[in-house]
Amino acid sequence: MASVHTSTSVITIERFIMEQERLHPEATGELSNLLYDLCLAAKIISRHVRRAGLTDMLCPQTSRRGKYVILYDPLDGSSNIDVNVSIGTIFSIHRRVTSPKSGPGLADCLQVGKKQVAAGYILYGSSTMLVYTTGQGVHGFTLDPTIGEFLLSHPDIRTPAVGKYYSVNESNWNRWTPAVQRVVAAFKNGDGRMQAKNARYIGSLVADFHRNLISGGVFLYPGDTRSAEGKLRLLYEAAPLALVVEQAGGLATDGRRPILDLVPKHLHQKTPFIVGSKTDVDFAIEILAAEGVPA
Ligand code: FDP
């Protein structure tokens, strides 16, 4: 992790971004400005989520010119809004490949995950947290509602190599391949070198991912007989969380290939997604490979 200058124990996200920018003399400040805008968006969405008044939220329709594109899922886990369960926002930032003098195009968005310049999420839970990476570790900030600032609360997050939890929607069991069933059964019951894990499934990707990132765990949304590619979207769900988890020492795969190596063909493309603690994801990859079938 790049070192951050601190003269006080409280570091706001604005100051953190500014200090990180200073470490890159070539920076124009455009990425920092985008991150500041994201913080503001996070505060606005958080306020709306807390008031459960989502009807008047604005989504800018105009595309501006600039060096970057941002892909985001503004409210992931939306089926949980009405029942007061944690939800989140996921974002992914790419450097544009088309000319910044013209408006952004599809080619700017359809880039392989490892080319992301920044990615992260905002979790609207018991507190609001913003967790992000620019490729130099993963840092978490908690919104202090009394002053309206995100404060650095989780510097340089590292995820445990072996997880306590497995997170999967087990109601899909009968639709999975035997290989996926073996993987989940091993997480559930233990299997030689794999100790049995505890189950935790909120059904809100950001919340499930965040818990596993901090406490250690593996989240799975494999393909099934209804949808071979599963449910989750590559560009604005799987890829940004894959960058975060890898920066924290974990792994993300579609069962055969690293998520960050997948070349997207469509904006809303889905992908099977297995993500979390390195040893657990490696274990899943090994079983799936041995059985020769995709997740
Ligand atoms: P939701 O449909 O509530 O928006 O991709 C969306 C998502 O939630 C994820 O946040 C969550 O992990 C997953 O779908 C839950 O899907 P299942 O209900 O099929 O388990």
The tens digit of pLDDT for each residue in 128-156 reads 999 999 999 999 999 999 999 999 999 99
- Best substitution site from 171, 184, 221 to test ligand 1's pocket, by max atoms within 8 Å of Cβ? 221
At 112, list the tokens. 């392989």
Q: Determine the pLDDT at residue 4.
A: 44
Task: Return the beta strands (E) in the chain as ranges.
Answer: 68-76, 87-95, 116-124, 128-133, 138-144, 149-154, 165-167, 198-199, 217-221, 251-253, 273-276
| 146 φ/ψ sector (left φ>0, alpha ψ -120 to 50, else beta) | alpha
With vertex at residue 172, the alpha carbon angle to CA 76 and CA 166, rounded to the nearest 5 degrees, is 70
Residues of 193-203 as b/e, b for ≥16 C-beta within 10 angstroms? ebeebeebbbe
Cα(101) to ligand 1 centroid in Å equals 37
Please tell me the residue having the least CA distance from ligand 1 atom 12. Answer: 205
- Cα 188 from Cα 194, distance rounded (Å): 9
Beta-bridge mates of residue 116: 94
Please tell me the residue having the least CA distance from ligand 1 atom 7. Answer: 77
Percent helix, percent strand, percent coil in the chain, to nearest 5: 35, 25, 40
- Best substitution site from 80, 85, 124, 205 to test ligand 1's pocket, by max atoms within 8 Å of Cβ? 205
Residue type, 188: K
Q: Is 169 in the pocket of ligand 1 (CB under 6 A)?
A: yes
Q: Determine the pLDDT at residue 115.
A: 98
Cα(277) to ligand 1 centroid in Å equals 21
Contacts of 253 (CB under 8 A, 6+ apart): 259, 274, 275, 281, 284, 285, 295
Residue 58: burial class (beta carbons within 10 Å; 0-12, 13-18, 19+) = exposed
Residue-averaged pLDDT of the chain: 91
Per-residue pLDDT reduced to its tens digit, 174-220: 999 999 999 999 999 999 889 999 999 999 999 999 999 999 999 99
Please tell me the residue having the least CA distance from ligand 1 atom 6. Answer: 77
Query: Is the model's pLDDT at 64 over the cut of 70?
Result: no
Q: Is 278 in the pocket of ligand 1 (CB under 6 A)?
A: no
Per-residue pLDDT reduced to its tens digit, 256-279: 999 999 999 999 999 999 999 999
Q: Is 6 in the pocket of ligand 1 (CB under 6 A)?
A: no
Q: Determine the pLDDT at residue 76.
A: 92
The closest alpha carbon to 236, from 42, 60, 71, belongs to 71
Cα(165) to ligand 1 centroid in Å equals 18
* Residues 93, 123 contacting (CB under 8 angstroms): no
Cα(237) to ligand 1 centroid in Å equals 11
At 95, list the tokens. 């450097």
* pLDDT band at residue 100 using 50, 70 and 90 as cut-offs: confident
- In Å, what is the CA distance from 260 to each residue of 85, 110, 217? 29, 12, 19
Q: Determine the pLDDT at residue 294.
A: 58
- Tell me the backbone φ, ψ of residue 131, rounded to 5 degrees: -120, 130
- Cα 222 from Cα 144, distance rounded (Å): 36
- Best substitution site from 87, 231, 236, 237 to test ligand 1's pocket, by max atoms within 8 Å of Cβ? 231
Q: Is 203 in the pocket of ligand 1 (CB under 6 A)?
A: yes
What whole-number percentage of the chain has pLDDT above 90?
77
* pLDDT band at residue 48 using 50, 70 and 90 as cut-offs: confident
At 260, list the tokens. 């960050």
Per-residue pLDDT reduced to its tens digit, 234-260: 999 999 999 999 999 999 999 999 999
Beta-bridge mates of residue 154: 140
The closest alpha carbon to 180, from 133, 221, 123, 231, belongs to 221
Q: Determine the pLDDT at residue 79.
A: 87
Model pTM? 0.91
